[in-house]
Amino acid sequence: MKSGLIVYTDYDAKCNRFFINKCLELLNDEDFSLKYINEDELLSYIDDNKVDFVIYRGRDYRLLEELRSIGIKTFNNVLTNKTANDKYLTYDFLKENNLPYIETYLDLSKFPCIMKSVSGHGGQEVFFVKDLKEVNRIKDEHPNLKFIYQEFLENDGDVRIYMLNGEPVVAIKRKSNKDYRNNYSLGGEVELYEPSKEMVEAATKVAKLLKADFIGVDFLLTDSGFKIIEIEDPVGSRMVYKLKPELDIISRFIEHVKNNI
């Protein structure tokens, strides 16, 4: 029997009980056992217990490096987690691999612009700033955060393509009429979307270069074409179950896990 863990921080676990419970339901049978554990307890648990694989739903790639060093299979891998959870590394990755990106700076270029922490997610720690006074205020309020700056682009929303084992599964468009951020968690409206061939090719290239198991690739729809804005790891599933529950994307992910342990 293969023994595994699904890992979240306590904070994220509260928002993702459906994902956790679905994985526990599907990965506890005669061949597999799965247990939920808090991220802070992961390494001590592994010291005392046999673990063959970890479904890691956190954002600390250093934990994945520890697991890799002792031969534990992880979903996703180090490269995916590290790249996706640092917005400047994401920009470097996109630029280096000739993928569509928004020009990104570590220092201010011009106003107005979008100011983001490199480690933010879910639309958090993202600010539309108009002048240096606003920038300095935000820095003072968040002294421990590292920021990047991007040109503000008028857009018609953004699209997330869910990628599983290097293949597109479904695409969902998000659009907010209340905020410059389109995130579903912040009130953005969502609908199923048919992406262009070029968008699918770009998302597929991202997933295959990273050798990612399960990610989202987010595109901003601008007047000058689409730009990749983020790679999501861990990627949530709430939008999929809202719009297309019959797809049962978590079950498809768990089948991938079973086939790759």
Please identify which residue in the block is written with the tokens 């600010």.
Answer: 127
pLDDT tens figures, 156-201? 999 999 999 999 999 999 998 766 555 545 456 999 999 999 999 9
Q: What's residue 182's pLDDT?
A: 56
What mean pLDDT is reported for the chain?
94
3-state secondary structure of 246: helix
Of 9-18, 107-116, 173-182, 210-219, least confident by mean pLDDT is 173-182
Cα 104 from Cα 151, distance rounded (Å)? 8
Helices 17-26 and 249-259, axial angle in degrees (round to 10): 50
Higher local confidence (pLDDT), 17 or 109: 17
pLDDT, average across residues 226-249: 97
Of 71-75, 117-121, 252-256, least confident by mean pLDDT is 117-121
pLDDT, average across residues 108-117: 90
Q: To the nearest 10°, the Cα dihedral for 141, 231, 223, 198?
A: 170
Q: Is the pLDDT of residue 80 over 50?
A: yes
In the chain, the domains with their CATH numbers are: 2-75 (3.40.50.1860), 104-151 (no CATH), 154-251 (3.30.470.20)
3-state secondary structure of 213: coil
Q: What's residue 192's pLDDT?
A: 98
CA distances from 248 to 7, 170, 244, 259 (A): 21, 11, 8, 17
E strands present in 91-202 = 104-105, 113-117, 126-129, 147-151, 155-164, 167-175, 189-192
Helix ranges restricted to H, 16-60: 17-26, 42-48
Closest CA to 41 of 78, 9, 3: 9
**Which tokens sit at 205?**
């290239």
Please identify which residue in the block is written with the tokens 């929303």.
Answer: 157
Q: Is the pLDDT of residue 204 over 70?
A: yes
Q: What's residue 179's pLDDT?
A: 63
Higher local confidence (pLDDT), 108 or 256: 256
DSSP structural state of residue 184: G
Closest CA to 250 of 6, 2, 3: 6
